[in-house]
Amino acid sequence: MKTIQEIQSDIVEEFSVFTDWMDKYEYLIDLGKGMPLIDEKDKTEANLIRGCQSRVWLSCREEDGRLHFAADSDAIITKGIISLLLKVYDGQTPADILAADEEFIEKIGLRENLSPTRANGLVSMIQTIKAHAAAAKASSAAPASGRSIDEDIVLALRQVYDPEIPVNIYDLGLIYDIQADADGQVFIKMTLTAPNCPIADDVVAQVREAVADVPGVRDVQVDLVFEPEWTTDLMSEEAKLELGML
């Protein structure tokens, strides 16, 4: 099987034959028609990708250590975009998905030829795919019995990604405090990179759901605050390295 880098190189070569973006859009539409479609029973709220202008469903299953995706959208261009991402990531390992960049997006000029709402949707698609990879990688790590509940909560938080920056919210420094008592009550104080984030409620809900799935957790309370104000100084070294800040 080809590596993610090899697939990206193939995509760049395929798109290089088109000089007009209308032709590239047509090619995207054709890709969407041929991608593995999500089963109708999996078109649920849980599988909807948050942050997309149109509705996009994505399902994920793991088999023999590799992730397999299926998707669908009610918009033809969006369907083509998610199919392009699945072409890159379908059948890859969680570790390889998490380690990969998306340089092909810039090389084929995709991002600059999308509307702002579609560009935001593209970021949300990538984040969701990587969140599935992070969850799969975490589940294959040491059993929860070998870690404290605080460590498991941190692992869960690392499965939630910022809506605008492709880094998980824990390494981004958005988690200000975690408190877990012996009865399984968990209190989390967090912030966002910007107070006017349009999907703040969705991010908080993702945090609550991720932590609620941790063994031993009975209840989760999330307090969203904006004091102190978030700055890049709160980011981990790994996050800064991933974003090219080091």
* 52 belongs to the catalytic site: yes
Phi, psi of 178 (to 5 degrees): -130, 125
Computed from CA positions of residues 158, 159, 162, 164, in that sequence, does the dihedral angle turn out positive or negative? Answer: positive
Residue 181 CA: distances (Å) to CA of 78, 184, 224: 44, 6, 20
Structure tokens belonging to residue 60: 């994920």
Which residue in 7, 28, 35, 52 is the catalytic one? 52
Two tokens, residue 177: 């405090």
CA 57 to chain centre: 13
Is 71 exposed, middle or buried (CB count within 10 Å of its CB: 0-12, 13-18, 19+)?
buried
Q: What is the set of active-site residues?
A: 52
